[in-house]
Structure 1
Amino acid sequence: MGEYLTRHASAGDLGSLTATFFVLLALTGLALISTWLAFKDVREHKLPGTVVRPAWAASAVLFGSAAVLSGEPSRLLGMAGGAVVLWLLYYLLRRVSRGALGRGDVRLAGMLGTVLGFASPWHVLWATVLGFVVGGLYAVFLLISRRAGAADRVPFGPAMLAGTALSLVLV
């Protein structure tokens, strides 16, 4: 993502500068919404659709506009592919886990797939892997510290969001 921002911020033409602004606006919004969603999921085990769906739409509009304005419409396919792949993966995981993942996790996966797909397929892959690693480490921490037992539910949204943030920063 940094390479995209650097390249288009330094291009100097109106389309590239506007695209850079849209991406920065979308990332700022994502950071704010992600923080709120993480706290909400930890406290209440909920990722409300009334927040995730509009954030997903706003992300799609801002990143999609940036893709077109920067002359990289192929990123639209990446966005759609990322959204479909992650939504479907989490939907199937929800089905086979008999509800261990909530509907909010599935919606959030679609939204994050849109954002990550804009960056690259590698971001989608690494965010998913890192999300499961962070989630697993958090669950182990809760078990070792006796803050949760084997039968307790552990919110997964914060791990998904952390995996996304790590992927966007590190990959």
Structure 2
Amino acid sequence: MDLHEALVVLVHLALLGVGVWLLVIDVRTHRLPNRIVLPTLVALLALAIIEALLTGQVRSLIGAVLGMLILGGFYAALRLVSREGMGGGDVKLAAVIGIVLGWHGWQALAVGAASAFVLGALYALVLMALHRADRSTRIAFGPWMIVGAVLGIAAG
């Protein structure tokens, strides 16, 4: 394993830690704090830029920026359509996840984005079947976004 690969693994382990932290917070409070999400967003953009400058490979940087814009934009549109459904933290987290998945490639982005909605819907259906939720029950979506991102990375 060369230095670049070791650094990529290290960044992914750090992201896993941040993801677990956000997952726990969102489940408990239905919030994704800006004090965690926004610095993560800035750090990931900086790392993608630094990697492109050091390696001379801009493909991953372009994928990361497009992933951020596509996934963040999609969640922003969902938030505009229904303020009660998607929270602002979800939109910002989508931009973070878009950077990571876009850096990995289009397949990772598609699988990660779709997995979040499929898993979240299945969870809601199970809760409704068990009569622990109804159509008005608020369900934290951040955890499903994070799990979906892990699946996207694994598939990509």
Most deviating of 22-31 and 109-118: 22-31
Match of 2:61 among 76, 79, 82: 76
Structure 2 unaligned residues grouped into runs of 5+: none
**Deviation of the 1:23 alpha carbon:** 1.3
Do residues 86 (structure 1) and 71 (structure 2) align? Answer: yes
Q: 1:121 corresponds to which residue? A: 106
Structure 1 segments of 4 or more deviating over 4 A? Answer: none
Q: 1:3 corresponds to which residue? A: none
Match of 2:134 among 149, 152, 163: 149
Q: Deviations over 1:6-44 (max 9, x none)?
A: xxx3xxxxxxx3322321121011100110111111110
Q: 1:4 corresponds to which residue? A: none
Q: 2:87 corresponds to which residue? A: 102
Do residues 34 (structure 1) and 37 (structure 2) align? Answer: no
TM-score (normalised: structure 1): 0.85
CA distance, structure 1, for counterparts of residue 3 and residue 53 of structure 2? 11
RMSD, aligned CA: 1.4
Corresponding residue SS for 2:56? coil
Q: Is the 8 A contact 1:60 1:115 kept in 2?
A: no
CA distance, structure 1, for counterparts of residue 16 and residue 149 of structure 2? 10
Match of 2:5 among 11, 20, 35: 20
Q: Is the 8 A contact 2:119 2:144 kept in 1?
A: yes
Structure 1 unaligned residues grouped into runs of 5+: 1-8, 10-16
Sequence identity percentage: 35
Q: 1:14 corresponds to which residue? A: none
